[in-house]
A and B are shown apart, each in its own frame.
Chain A
Amino acid sequence: MIELRNVWRLYRMGDETINALAGIDLEISQGEFISIVGPSGSGKSTLLNIIGGLDSPTTGTVVVDGQNLSKASDRELSLYRNKKVGFVFQTFNLQPTYTALENVALPLVFAKVPLRKRNEIARDTLETVELAERLGHTPGQLSGGERQRVAIARALVNDPRILLADEPTGNLDSRTSELIVELLQRLSKERGITMLLVTHEMMIAEHANRVIHMLDGRIARSTERK
C-alpha cells in the first residue's frame, strides 16, 4: 500500500543543512493503524507530509497504491491529495467563515461535485462523526472536540484510502482526546482506512497496531502490538 525506499528530506536553514528525514525505509499495508512517536524535530510531521503528497523527498522513492509520488507533478499530487488521502491537523485548520457543512464539503468542491450532491455527502459524513445537528455552525461556535470531528469528517468526505493525523489531540483535553482516537480507530476498522497518527502522548499511541519511534530523521525502532 505505502512503500518508502531510502527517503531523505533535507532543509536548508541559513548555512546549515537539516536532515529532516535521513534514509527512511518503510512499508505499510492496507488498513493498518500506525502511531508515529518521537521528540519534536525527529521528522514525524515531515514523514506524514511526504506520504500525504504535501511535501516531496529530496531523494528516494515514495510509492502509494502503485503511484510514484516522488515523480508526480503538482496536478497529480493535488489529485492524489483530493482523492486518496485525508488530513487531520492539531489546529483543526477549518475555514473560519465556512459552516461545518461547507468545511466538510470543501474537498468535494475541488473534485467538481455539484453543490446539491456535495451537501448531501457532507451531511452524511457529519452524521458518521455524530455532528448532524451542528452543520450550520461556524468553527467559532463549536467546541474543540466538535471542531476536530468536523475536520475528521472533512478528511473522510472523499472516501480516502489513507488518513493522516498530525497531533490531532494536541489541543484537546484528555477525555476528548480519548473520544477522538476511539473515533479514528473505529473508522480505520469499519472502513479499512490506513491510519497514520503522529503523537507524542504514549496513551494515544497505544491504540495503534504498530508504533514507530523516530529520532533524528530515522526510524529508531518499531513495535508491533496485538
Chain B
Amino acid sequence: MTIRDLLRNAFSNLRRRKLRSFLTIFAVVIGAALVSLLVSLGVGAQEFLTAQIRATMPPDVLMVGSNPNAFQIGFGAMGFGGSPEEITDDEGSPYSLAPLTPQEIESVRALEHVERVDPYIMVSADSVRLQNSEKRFRTQLTALPDYLITSKELVAGRYLNDDSQGECIIANQYLESFNFDRAEDALGQEVVIQVGQITSFIGLPTKTKDYTFEIVGVAEKTLSSTQIMISIEDGKEIARFWANEPELYTDEVPPAILQVKVEDSQYADQVAEAVEDLDLGALTSADVLGLVGDIFTIIQAVLSVFGLIALGVASLGIINTLIMAIYERTREIGVMKAVGASQGTVRRLFTTEGAAIGFLGGVIGVAIGYGLGFIINQVSHSTFLADFETFNISVFPWWLIVGVIALSTLIALLAALYPAHRASRLDPIEALRYE
C-alpha cells in the first residue's frame, strides 16, 4: 500500500466518525497549544534577556579578571545544582580580585586580535538630581568606552566619546522622573550626581562629593532604567574618590578587571583561551548567553511539562479511539486481509490513522497557541510593555512550530502502536465472521 493511499485511508476514516475524531483530536489540540504557547513565552523571555545581555556585552568584547576563577558562573559556583566545587589553588574566593599587574595588562594588550583594552570601571553614586531641583533619585552610574556607548540606541541627542568631560547620557525613565515631556527638552540640562565614599564601617559619617554633568543624550527604554552613562575618563576620576584611592587605574593601582575588545567576534573564544593561558580569568558574551540558554532550557522544559501531560492524556484518547475502531471495523480488516493486506499493511493503516490525529491536533494546536501568543503580545504592548516595542512575550521560531507538530504526531503514532498491533493480529477468518 502506498503512503498516499495510507494517508487517504486515514483521513477518510477520520471523516467517517466526525464527532469522535473531533474529540480525540481536540485533546491533542489542547496539549499542542499548551506546549507551544508556554515554550513560546520562554523563547520570548530568553530573546529579551539575550538582547539585554548583548547590549551590555557585545560578542566582540570580553572581560578579563586577575583571578582565573573570577568568572566561574556555572551552576556549581552559583551554589545550586551540582556538588560543591573544590578550590584547587590559593586564589581563594572567586569573588576576591587583586589588581592586575601592569605587565599582565601589557601582555593582554599584546595578544593577537586584541583591538583595545580598557579598565572596567567600578563606581557607585548615591543619587542624581536636576541642577535646579532638590528631588533626588537613585542612579546606577556607568563609565563605558565609547564603542559600548555607541552600541546603545538613543531617542534624542548624541553619543559621548572617550574624551568627553562633564557629559552624560541618561536612561529614558528619567524623563518622567525629571518631568520632561519630550526627550529633546532634557538635552542641555545639568544633573548633579552625588557620590559617597566607601566606608569600611557602617555608621561612620560618609564623605560625599557632587559632580555636575550636562545631559547630551537620552537612551532608548531598556531594563537598565536608572543608568547614567559617562565617559571612561570621568569614571576614573569619580572612582578614585569613591574608592578613596587617588592612584586607582594607574600603574600604582591597576584595575582588577579589563574590558577587552577584539577585532571581530569570531576571535572572542580564541582570545579568551589566550587570556586563560596567561593564568587570568576570561568571560565572553557567549559564556553568559550559554548560561542563560541553559537556564531557559530548564524553564522551557518545566513549562512544557503541563502541555506534555495533556499530550499524554490525549494519547490515551487516541488508544481508546483506535481500539473502538478495531471493533467497528473488524469485518473490514478481515476483508482487507482476504484481498491481500499483510499484517504489516494493517499495522501501517492504524499507525497512520493515529499519526494523522496527532498531526491534525498538532497543526490546530500550534495555530491556537500562535493566536493566543499574538493576543498576549497585542495586549501587553498596549499596556505594561507599551515602551518595549521590540519585545514580544510570545515568540514562535520555526523550530517551535515544526517541533510541536512533529512531537504530537510522534506521540500519537506511538499511542497507535498497540491498537495497530492488535488489528494486525486479527485472524481473517474470524474477522470475516464477526457480527
Contact B1–A54 (Cβ < 8 Å): no
What residues of A have a CB within 8 angstroms of the CB of B339 in the complex? 81-82, 86-87, 106-107, 110, 154
Q: Is B18 an interface residue (CB 8 A)?
A: no
Q: Is A200 an interface residue (CB 8 A)?
A: no
Query: What's the Cα separation between A114 and B5 when bound, in Å?
Result: 9
The A-contacting residues of B in range 323-339, CB under 8 angstroms, are: 331-332, 334-339
Nearest B residue to A114 by beta-carbon distance? B2
The B-contacting residues of A in range 41-90, CB under 8 angstroms, are: 49, 52, 54-55, 74-75, 78-79, 81-83, 86-87, 89
Q: Is B224 an interface residue (CB 8 A)?
A: no
Query: What's the Cα separation between A54 and B432 when bound, in Å?
Result: 11
Q: Is A6 an interface residue (CB 8 A)?
A: no
Residues 158-197 of chain A: 1 if any B CB is under 8 Å from the residue's CB, otherwise 0?
1000000000000000000000000000000000000000
Q: Is B410 an interface residue (CB 8 A)?
A: no
Residues 1-32 of chain B: 1 if any A CB is under 8 Å from the residue's CB, otherwise 0?
11011000000100010000000000000000
Contact A83–B340 (Cβ < 8 Å): yes
Q: Is A112 an interface residue (CB 8 A)?
A: yes
What residues of B have a CB within 8 angstroms of the CB of A107 in the complex? 339-340
A22 CB to nearest B CB, Å: 19
The B-contacting residues of A in range 74-122, CB under 8 angstroms, are: 74-75, 78-79, 81-83, 86-87, 89, 93-97, 106-107, 109-112, 114-115
Contact A112–B429 (Cβ < 8 Å): no
What residues of A have a CB within 8 angstroms of the CB of B12 in the complex? 97
**In the complex, which range does the number of interface residues on chain A fall in?**
20 to 34
Total A-B contacts with CB atoms under 8 angstroms apart: 65
Query: What's the Cα separation between A79 and B428 when bound, in Å?
Result: 15
Contact A106–B335 (Cβ < 8 Å): yes
Query: What's the Cα separation between A82 and B4 when bound, in Å?
Result: 19
Q: Give the contacting residue for B332; candidates A55, A75, A95; CB below 8 A.
A: A95
Nearest B residue to A83 by beta-carbon distance? B340
Query: What's the Cα separation between A2 and B431 when bound, in Å?
Result: 26
Q: Is B342 an interface residue (CB 8 A)?
A: yes
B14 CB to nearest A CB, Å: 12
Q: Give the contacting residue for B338; candidates A54, A74, A114; CB below 8 A.
A: A54
Q: Give the contacting residue for B432; candidates A83, A93, A154; CB below 8 A.
A: A93
A144 CB to nearest B CB, Å: 17
Q: Is B173 an interface residue (CB 8 A)?
A: no
Q: Is B194 an interface residue (CB 8 A)?
A: no
What residues of B have a CB within 8 angstroms of the CB of A112 in the complex? 1-2, 5
Given A82-B340, A83-B340, check contact A93 B335 (CB 8 Å): yes
Query: What's the Cα separation between A115 and B428 when bound, in Å?
Result: 26
Q: Is B345 an interface residue (CB 8 A)?
A: yes
B299 CB to nearest A CB, Å: 48
Contact B428–A110 (Cβ < 8 Å): no
What residues of A have a CB within 8 angstroms of the CB of B345 in the complex? 78, 110
Contact B335–A49 (Cβ < 8 Å): no
Given A93-B331, A106-B335, A109-B1, check contact A55 B340 (CB 8 Å): no
What residues of A have a CB within 8 angstroms of the CB of B301 in the complex? none
Query: What's the Cα separation between A211 and B10 when bound, in Å?
Result: 44
Q: Give the contacting residue for A93; candidates B4, B5, B334; CB below 8 A.
A: B334
What residues of B have a CB within 8 angstroms of the CB of A96 in the complex? 332
Contact B338–A55 (Cβ < 8 Å): no
What are 25 A-B residue pairs whose CB atoms fall within 8 Å in the complex? Answer: A52-B338, A54-B429, A74-B342, A74-B344, A78-B342, A79-B340, A81-B337, A81-B338, A86-B339, A87-B338, A93-B331, A93-B334, A93-B335, A95-B335, A97-B12, A97-B16, A106-B339, A107-B339, A110-B336, A110-B339, A110-B340, A110-B341, A110-B345, A115-B4, A158-B340
- Seen from chain A, the residues whose Cβ lies within 8 Å of a Cβ on chain B are 49, 52, 54-55, 74-75, 78-79, 81-83, 86-87, 89, 93-97, 106-107, 109-112, 114-115, 154, 158
- Seen from chain B, the residues whose Cβ lies within 8 Å of a Cβ on chain A are 1-2, 4-5, 12, 16, 331-332, 334-345, 428-429, 432
Q: Other than A54-B429, A74-B343, A112-B5, give 5 A-B pairs with Cβ distance below 8 A.
A: A74-B342, A81-B337, A89-B432, A93-B334, A106-B339
Which 3 A-B pairs give the minimum distances between C-beta atoms? A82-B340, A78-B342, A110-B340
